[in-house]
């Protein structure tokens, strides 16, 4: 967790806002399908982008999470800096596309789809935070 705190809090290259902050309750035998647009920012403030995160959890607790840029025209890329997934208070997955701000964020262009996580979840409170713009 120290690495995550250092990247996010100490002079980070991350946006000052979160693109998504999602809370789901994972229960045995109950599938979940969830999707939400990711926020972005320009000089007029924050807005919903055409990029979204999709989370599917099947009845056996298998997680599949992806991000997609649903647009058929020409547009600037949507940049994803990091994704944090927690079960309860435990880190389930930390994906830092910038490698502690040493690399640029992962860019998604119109029509792109990127799988960001697949794996087995335990029942509990599932929290997903996305930094992007």
**Long-range pairs, 65-68, Cβ under 8 A, ≥24:** 65/115, 65/116, 65/117, 65/118, 65/128, 66/113, 66/114, 66/115, 66/116, 67/38, 67/108, 67/113, 67/114, 67/116, 67/130, 68/108, 68/112, 68/113, 68/114
pTM of the predicted model, to two decimals? 0.89
13-49 pLDDT, tens digit each: 888 889 999 999 999 899 999 999 999 998 999 999 9
Task: Please measure the distance between the N-terminal and C-terminal CA atoms of the chain and give it in whole angstroms.
Answer: 24
Q: Which residue has the higher pLDDT, 15 or 129?
A: 129
Domain extent, residue 53, equals 2-132
46-89 pLDDT, tens digit each: 999 999 999 999 999 999 999 999 988 888 899 999 999 999 99
Give the HSE-up count for residue 70: Cα atoms under 13 Å, Cβ half-sphere: 13
Q: Return the HEC string of 78-89.
A: EEEEEEEEEECC
In what helix (H) or strand (E) does residue 5 lie, and over which residues does it extend?
A: helix 2-9
CATH number of the CATH domain containing 64: 2.60.210
- Cα separation, 112 vs 85, whole angstroms: 22
* Cα dihedral across residues 61, 28, 94, 112: positive or negative: positive
Question: Number of structural domains, the chain?
Answer: 1
């Amino acid at each position: 967790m120290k690495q995550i705190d250092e990247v996010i809090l100490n002079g980070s290259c991350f946006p000052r806002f979160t693109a998504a902050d999602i809370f789901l309750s994972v229960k045995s035998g109950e599938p979940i399908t969830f999707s939400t647009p990711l926020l972005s920012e320009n000089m007029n403030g924050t807005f919903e982008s055409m990029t979204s995160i999709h989370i599917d959890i099947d009845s056996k607790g298998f997680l599949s999470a992806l991000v997609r840029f649903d647009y058929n025209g020409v547009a600037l890329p949507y940049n994803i800096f990091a994704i944090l997934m927690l079960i309860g208070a435990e880190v389930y997955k930390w994906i830092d596309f910038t490698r502690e701000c040493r690399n640029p964020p992962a860019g998604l262009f119109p029509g792109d789809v990127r799988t960001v996580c697949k794996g087995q979840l335990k029942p509990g409170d599932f929290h997903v935070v996305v930094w992007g713009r």
